[in-house]
Chain A
């Protein structure tokens, strides 16, 4: 079972996933996040995975796919709230090298909003 919600703050989109993300749910997550990104003209994407109890490589594929989209627009991706199992998947796949990682969503927002203030 997987449920997802999204919240925007300016050009920042925060996606929160609850439950288990595998191949069965990956297409739904992709469509949901893509439509939210388009509707909100997202520049920076935050994945809040605090309530995600399980993920496999299908989840990595979705996260990487959205990274490519956001990166093309000059934005960034931040992942936060990883449990031990999900964290190891990110380590194995090397995604730590191309994305930001924060402990909490608030930490991610603080960094992104801080940097956008500096830019303006």
Chain B
């Protein structure tokens, strides 16, 4: 059976740790490895940071929405903002590309999300904001002999 949880919170940097720990706690019931859990937390952190500093330009009045669902050993995470959107998604995904070099952004957010998850989808519009969705298989991946 599918198990779903929803979170929404203000676009404040201090909420980044809360968001990744909440999703990791939700995922813990799948008994993931420590490495998989660390990768999941990193992907959540990247997506939430993007929503805060790019989507909302660090305006704390913005709201970040997370929906996570677990089904058949896999977690599906959707991080959504109603901010200014991404002008060019292909460019944003290029390693080291950043629109905020003055903030010492590494430009590695989407590269890290792609490497640390099994599937990454980005939808964005300058009128409605950005939706980042990723999936990650977490349940025991070993073949069991019966």
Residues of B within 8 A of A (CB): 13-14, 16-17, 20, 35, 38-39, 41-42, 45-46, 49, 52-53, 95-96, 103-109, 111-112, 115-116
Contact = CB atoms under 8 A, between A and B. Distances in A.
Contact of A60 (B20, B106, B115): B106
A64 B104 contact: yes
Interface in A49-101: 54, 56-58, 60-62, 64-65, 84-85, 88-89, 92-93
Given A22-B45, A23-B53, A57 B105 contact: yes
Given A57-B112, A89-B112, A22 B49 contact: yes
Contacts of A88: 39, 115-116
Instruction: Tell me if A's interface is mostly helix, strand, loop or mixed.
Output: helix
Instruction: Tell me if B's interface is mostly helix, strand, loop or mixed.
Output: helix
A73 to B, nearest CB: 18
A23 B111 contact: no
B39 A85 contact: yes
A85 B104 contact: no
B42 A85 contact: yes
B104 A89 contact: no
Contacts of B106: 57-58, 60-61, 64, 93
Nearest to B39: A85
B104 A26 contact: yes
A92 B116 CA distance: 11
Nearest to A2: B17
Given A54-B38, A57-B46, A24 B16 contact: yes
Given A56-B46, A61-B104, 7 more contacts: A23-B16, A24-B14, A30-B104, A57-B49, A62-B104, A85-B42, A89-B108
B14 A93 contact: no
Taking residues whose C-beta sits less than 8 angstroms from the other chain, chain A's interface range is 20 to 34
6 contacts: A58-B105, A85-B35, A85-B38, A88-B39, A89-B42, A92-B112
A23 B52 contact: yes
Contacts of A20: 17
A106 to B, nearest CB: 26
Given A56-B46, A56-B49, A61 B105 contact: yes
B128 to A, nearest CB: 24
Contacts of B16: 22-24
Contacts of B105: 57-58, 61
